[in-house]
Amino acid sequence: MTDRFVVLTGASGGIGKCLAKRLIAQHYRVLGIARDASRLQAVADELGENFEPCAFDVSDRVAWQALASRLSAAGQAVDMLICGAGVLPPFAAASTVSSAAVEQTLRINFLSAVYAIEALKAPLLAAAKPVVAVIASAGGIAPLIGTSAYAASKAAMIAYFSALREEWRGRVQVTLLCPGFVKTDIFRSQPHVAGSEKLLNAIAADADRIARGMLQAIRCGRGYKVLGVDGHLLSIGMRLCPTLTLRLCRYIIKASNLPLFADIWAD
C-alpha cells in the first residue's frame, strides 16, 4: 500500500476508469467519485483494494464539503486531484437549449471542479508535491455548433484553471488537459447516435491512449496539454484563423447529414 493518494472524479467509466487503472498500476491509492454507485462498485471489484468507491453527485457542493471533513478527520493529504466528471448534452441549436440545461451542464462540468478546489484546498496544500489536473476539452477551445452549453462549460474551466495555475505556481502544479473526441459513453448515449457510430469511431481516440497521454503530461509537469489529432487540428485552427475554422467545422457537420446532428438545424 502506498501513501500517494488521488481523488478522481468521473471514475466509473471512460477516461476516468482508464486513469484509475493506470494510477493504481503506478502504486497510487485512488478515491474514485461518480454518481452511479453500482458502476463505481464494479470498477472497485475490478481494480482491487487500492481503489475506494465514493458515490455522490459532483455538482453537490455540500457533498464535497462532507468529503473534505472526512479526509480532514483522517489526516489524509491529497497528492493529486483529477477532475474528470462531465456531461455532453445532446447536439442542438443554442437557441433551443433551455437555461436550466445550460445551468446543469455548468454545474457538472465546471462548478464541480470549483467545489472540489474549495473543499480540498487544505488537504492539497498539506501534500509534499500536490497536483491538480482538470479534463477540459478541445471543445472549450473551439466552440462547435450544437455544443453551446458544453463548450461554454469547458471554456470556463480553461479560463478558471489557467488563472489558478499562475496563482498557485510554485505551490501546486495545475495541469489543463484538452482532449478531442474520445470513444466513451458520453457519445454513445447521445440521441440519434444510431447510424453515426462509423464516424465517431473514425475520429474519436481510444480512451486508454488518451489517459496515458494525460498522465505523461502530468508527470512532465505540463501546464496545458491538447490531446488527439482532432484536438490539435482545432487548437491550431483557432490560433491561426478562428472564424474560418468554425465555419469549416460547420460545413463538415452539415455536409455529414448524420442523424446525430439533426437537432442542430431544428431552430
What is the DSSP secondary-structure string of the chain? Answer: --S-EEEEESTTSHHHHHHHHHHHHTT-EEEEEES-HHHHHHHHHHH-TTEEEEE--TT-HHHHHHHHHHHHHHT---SEEEE-----PPP--GGGS-HHHHHHHHIIIIIHHHHHHHHHHHHHHTSSS-EEEEE--GGGTS--TT-HHHHHHHHHHHHHHHHHHHHTTTTSEEEEEEE--BSSHHHHTSTT-TT-HHHHHHHPBPHHHHHHHHHHHHHTT-SEEEESHHHHHHHHHHHH-HHHHHHHHHHHHHHH--GGGGGGG--
**Cell matching residue 239:** 490560433
Model-level pTM? 0.93
What residues make up the domain containing 53?
A: 5-265
CB 158 within 8 A of CB 134: no
Lowest mean pLDDT, pick from 71-75, 113-117, 148-152, 199-203: 199-203
Main-chain dihedrals φ then ψ at residue 22, nearest 5 degrees: -70, -40
- Give CA–CA dist 242/186, Å, rounded: 26
Q: What is the pLDDT of residues 114-143, one digit of tens each?
A: 999 999 999 999 999 999 999 999 999 999
Type of residue numbered 43? V
User: What is the tens place of the pLDDT at every residue in 53-95?
Assistant: 999 999 999 999 999 999 999 999 999 999 999 999 999 999 9
Question: From its phi and psi, is residue 210 left (phi > 0), alpha (psi between -120 and 50) or beta?
Answer: alpha
CATH number, position 131: 3.40.50.720
Task: Name beta bridge partners: 30.
Answer: 6, 51
Average pLDDT, the chain: 93
Q: Domain total for the chain?
A: 1
